[in-house]
Amino acid sequence: MAWNPSPKVAAARDIARKFKKQQAIVLLIDTEQGTLELASYEAKNDILREALGLLLELIPCGTPEGDKADEIIHKATMKHNQKGDSTR
């Protein structure tokens, strides 16, 4: 996988290394801005989709939070499929 200098991906990479794991998915939550972001390191599509599915189970559908989560997950999956890297 190509090197990604993004600070968010670097944080996910650092977490994976610290805990001696091959992959990491980090959920970044800003309650003041009302945003959710994902950063991943070496996450494969199937594992990423499983993690995103678990996230969706935690957020009620039909709420602003649920709608935002759906939007973020859709964008993250599309970007991952288009770029083939771990940028979210």
Q: Which two tokens stand for residue 69?
A: 């989560």
Angle (deg, nearest 10), helices 64-83 and 45-58: 180
Model confidence at 30: pLDDT above 70: yes
Model confidence at 42: pLDDT above 60: yes
- 41 or 62, greater pLDDT: 41
Question: Residues 56, 59, 64, 69: is their CA dihedral positive or negative?
Answer: negative
**Mean pLDDT to the nearest integer, 13-30:** 90
Residue 17 has a CB neighbour count (10 Å cut-off) of 12
Q: Which pLDDT score is estimated for 76?
A: 61
Domain boundaries along the sequence of the chain: 7-83
Helical (H) or strand (E) element with 41: strand 35-41
Strand partners, 25: 40
- 49 or 85, greater pLDDT: 49
Q: Which pLDDT score is estimated for 74?
A: 67
State pTM to two decimals.
Answer: 0.59
Q: Which pLDDT score is estimated for 77?
A: 61
